[in-house]
Structure 1
Amino acid sequence: MTKVLIVGAGHAGGSAAAFLRQYGFEGEIVLAGAEPVAPYQRPPLSKAWLKGEAGEEALLLRADDFYAEQSIDLRRGAVATAIDRAEKTVAFADGTTEAYDHLILALGAEARRLHGPGWDDPRVRVLRDMADAEALKTELKPDRRLVVVGAGYVGLEVAASARSLGAQVVVLERESRALSRVASDVVGNFLSAYHHRRGVEVLPFTEVRGVHVYPDGKGADVRTDGAAVHPFDVCLVGVGARPATELAEAAGLACRDGVIVDDQARTGDPAIFAIGDITRRPVPALGLTDVRLESVPSALEQAKQAAAAIVGRPAPPAEVPWFWSDQYDLKIQIAGLPVGADSRVVRGEVDPSKIGGGFAVFHLKGDRIVCVEAVNAGAEFMGGRMLIQKGQAVDAAKLADPSVPMKAVGVA
């Protein structure tokens, strides 16, 4: 009987196991994850979990009994240590070895940490998994001081959650603005201003130098260039994530800031697939051949690709990548990537004091949308995403006019 071994039981790995059964795979499935819990959703960790609005059961992708019902052998606390491609086996830290016919690597990414004076202090935290979130949650109380290093999506989401709990929050960003690597200046500057109105300081052009722990051990602060000092009770380092490629690299699989896969999530070894945040992948819907995406929709798309390839099912249609973030009462939704864009159109009023119906930023390459960033603008997000998928030309003047429905901005 054919056996699929999935190493990594996060959103990608758990979904791959479910899609295999959904697509009719009748062989053995072993789903091995390093964490002591069943596959769960990570996005709520920086939001609902921190605010006490969701517990472990609410985050689970599927109920515990799903895996037994579907004959999926879920192994918690299973840490893979080596792949033997010749023997088609994976070794685990507990001394066991598991054979496979097909191997799916779904190991995700690890939070980047800072190194140097004081960064190993236990009050300095990262946020990547449920244990990280629970440890951080215990520190976020009224008037507690939180310093966030990095104004990316995770840092801003945690800042918003902490502020809603009454904590004092400062966000330190070395670049010129928030979200400098992942969003336009329109969206980044808007969010900085919105956070400021909620009592969060977002400080750009701020290079951190280290953490100073006070002689009594009871206090600490982050030191920055210019000799600025930011005392904290807890500090979150949110400076991005790195794909967990060590296992793949040691096995000789091609990697470059991610395991390189094709549009079926297959590596250079025909028996090994890789899915989710660990990968560099093509995005046919945008004409891109080598991209690393960190998102749940990308993980789900690749889980479908791998499952379909294993069972011999036609490949699923290529999807436009999309992302989201929730901060305070804002829903930020992005579809596509602004690669190659040569113009942009802003639709709606960009005013942090008058969010109302929201706004959207459309990035165009010629007369076609390649990316839409929507803030409390669901119709613009959905319409933009559909236009990207179709590759349909648009009328820029109509696109800029909120009174023109999104379904009417296309050019026949």
Structure 2
Amino acid sequence: MTHVVVVGGGQAGASVVAKLRAEGFSGDITLICAEKVPPYQRPPLSKAYLLGEMAEERLYLRPADFYQEHNITLRLDTRVVDIDSAAHAVVLSGEERLHYDELVLTVGAFPRTLPAAVGGMLDGLYLVRDLADADAMAPAFQKDRRVLIIGGGYIGLEAAAVASKLGLKVTLVEMADRILQRVAAPETSDYFRALHQSHGVDIREGVGLDRLLGDDHVTGAVLTDGSIVQLDFAVVGVGITPATILAESAGVEVDNGITTDEYGRTSDPHIWAAGDCASLLYRGTRLRLESVGNAIDQAETVALNIMGREQVYTPKPWFWSDQYDCKLQIAGLNHGYTDVHIRKGDAEGVQSHWYYKGEELIAVDAMNDPRNYMVGKRLIEAGKSPAAALITDPATDMKALLKA
């Protein structure tokens, strides 16, 4: 009987095992999770969960008894330390070996940390990646405390929004010229800068961290412009690195993540990968898609292909971020854009930014504008590119563009 072993208890891992059973796979399934809790949602960790608006059980992707009911062996608090690909076995901590016929790596990524030379070993310095991180930092989020957010990407901005809503005094530093520089156009950066500043967040762009101050616990920070910020704790949000160590130990090809083909298969025909750890081809470019949607869709495709379906995975990139009362929804990838066109909504704060590469529509950022987000998403998936003048014209019936 075929034994499928899945390593990694995030969204992708949970999706693989659920899809296998839903499609009638009758072999053995083992899901190995490094954490002590069943697979859970990660996006709410820096938003609703940190705000205290979501209980831990609501984070779980499936009820705890789902795995037993579907004959899925769930190994919690268990780490895979090596892969013996020649013997088709994973090596667990304690030297236990577990045989597999098909192995799926859904090991995600890990947050980049600060080097010890700048104070990265001090207490009061937090990361935002897993449940333990969120639980560790939650007690620090108390009214009138001073927090430094290091990094102006989505994780940093979400943490800043939570801190501001809870009444903390927030300073955010971004070493690049502007927040969101790596992922969004200046127009989107401008929108979120104004949003955060309206809530009292002190945003400093083009300014990095020189070093943290404090003997054992962080008490302040010296920035690269020479200014000093007094603080009670700090949150680091400076990006993630794909977890490729296990793949490398198995001799699997790695290129900005675990290299996969259009079926989700790695360079080893019996090892697959999905989610944040996997690099894939999208429109001729190899990249990773760090999103819930990709984790689910790619993982389910892998499950089907383990069963011999030979289904090609076609990514449909979409992302979101919640900050204060603003929901940002993103469709497509803006890589290589040449122009951005703004469509204003009927209410304050409602607008969408449409990215064009020449005359081709490639992405949309929608702020509190779900209708135009859906229109943009469907246009991109259909390969349709309306004239930019139609997008910016308030008289345009956006839904009619789908029929053009």
TM-score tier, shorter chain, comes to: over 0.9
The answer to whether the Cα contact below 8 Å between 2:6 and 2:106 also exists between their aligned partners in 1 is yes
Higher mean C-alpha deviation, range 54-63 or range 338-347: 338-347
Q: Distance in 2 between matches of 1:22 and 1:120?
A: 45
Q: Secondary structure at the match of 1:369?
A: strand
Q: Which residue of 1 aligns with 2:380?
A: 388
Q: Secondary structure at the match of 1:407?
A: helix
Moved over 2 A (4+): 316-319, 339-344, 354-357, 365-368, 408-412
CA displacement 1:159-202 (0-9 Å, x = unmatched): 10111111111001001111110111111121011100001111
Task: Quote the offset at 1:377 in angstroms.
Answer: 0.8
Q: Distance in 1 between matches of 2:135 and 2:9?
A: 19
Q: Which residue of 2 aligns with 1:402?
A: 394
Q: Distance in 2 between matches of 1:253 and 1:147?
A: 39
Q: Which residue of 1 aligns with 2:6?
A: 6
Q: Which residue of 1 aligns with 2:274?
A: 275
Q: Which residue of 2 aligns with 1:297?
A: 293
Higher mean C-alpha deviation, range 220-229 or range 380-389: 220-229
Q: Given residue 5 of structure 1, which amino acid in structure 2 is its aligned partner?
A: V
Q: Secondary structure at the match of 1:222?
A: strand
Task: Quote the offset at 1:220 in angstroms.
Answer: 1.2
Q: Given residue 237 of structure 2, which amino acid in structure 1 is its aligned partner?
A: G
Distance 1:97 1:106, change over 3 A: same
Q: Distance in 2 between matches of 1:164 and 1:408?
A: 39
Q: Distance in 2 between matches of 1:410 and 1:61?
A: 34
Q: Distance in 2 between matches of 1:219 and 1:332?
A: 33
Quick one: which of 287, 311, 314 aligns to 1:315?
A: 311
Equivalent residues in 2 for 1:36-185, closer than 5 Å: 36-115=36-115, 116-185=117-186
Q: Secondary structure at the match of 1:94?
A: coil
The answer to whether the Cα contact below 8 Å between 1:169 and 1:201 also exists between their aligned partners in 2 is yes
Q: Secondary structure at the match of 2:94?
A: coil
Q: Which residue of 1 aligns with 2:35?
A: 35
Q: Distance in 1 between matches of 2:293 and 2:284?
A: 17
Q: Secondary structure at the match of 2:25?
A: coil
Q: Distance in 2 between matches of 1:163 and 1:258?
A: 34
The answer to whether the Cα contact below 8 Å between 2:174 and 2:208 also exists between their aligned partners in 1 is yes
Quick one: which of 367, 370, 373 aligns to 1:378?
A: 370
Q: Given residue 365 of structure 2, which amino acid in structure 1 is its aligned partner?
A: E
Task: Quote the offset at 1:367 in angstroms.
Answer: 3.0
The answer to whether the Cα contact below 8 Å between 2:124 and 2:218 also exists between their aligned partners in 1 is no
Q: Given residue 179 of structure 1, which amino acid in structure 2 is its aligned partner?
A: L
Q: Distance in 2 between matches of 1:357 and 1:163?
A: 19
Task: Quote the offset at 1:395 in angstroms.
Answer: 2.3
**Runs of 5+ in structure 1 lacking a partner?**
none
Task: Quote the offset at 1:219 in angstroms.
Answer: 5.6
Q: Given residue 351 of structure 2, which amino acid in structure 1 is its aligned partner?
A: F
Task: Quote the offset at 1:402 in angstroms.
Answer: 3.1
Q: Secondary structure at the match of 1:242?
A: strand
Distance 1:407 1:316, change over 3 A: farther
Q: Which residue of 2 aligns with 1:359?
A: 351
Q: Secondary structure at the match of 2:140?
A: coil
The answer to whether the Cα contact below 8 Å between 2:378 and 2:402 also exists between their aligned partners in 1 is no
The answer to whether the Cα contact below 8 Å between 1:368 and 1:388 also exists between their aligned partners in 2 is no
TM-score normalized by the length of structure 1: 0.95
Q: Distance in 2 between matches of 1:323 and 1:333?
A: 6
Aligned residues: 403
Quick one: which of 329, 336, 353 aligns to 2:332?
A: 336
Task: Quote the offset at 1:411 in angstroms.
Answer: 7.8
The answer to whether the Cα contact below 8 Å between 2:263 and 2:312 also exists between their aligned partners in 1 is no
Q: Which residue of 2 aligns with 1:345?
A: 341
Q: Given residue 406 of structure 1, which amino acid in structure 2 is its aligned partner?
A: M
Task: Quote the offset at 1:122 in angstroms.
Answer: 1.5
TM-score normalized by the length of structure 2: 0.96
Q: Distance in 2 between matches of 1:409 and 1:117?
A: 52
Q: Distance in 1 between matches of 2:253 and 2:325?
A: 42
CA displacement 1:23-68 (0-9 Å, x = unmatched): 1111000000100000000000000111100121010000001000
Q: Which residue of 2 aligns with 1:197?
A: 198
Q: Given residue 225 of structure 2, which amino acid in structure 1 is its aligned partner?
A: G
Q: Given residue 263 of structure 1, which amino acid in structure 2 is its aligned partner?
A: E
Task: Quote the offset at 1:240 in angstroms.
Answer: 0.3
Coordinate RMSD, CA, aligned: 1.6
Q: Distance in 1 between matches of 2:313 and 2:252?
A: 26
Q: Which residue of 2 aligns with 1:249?
A: 248
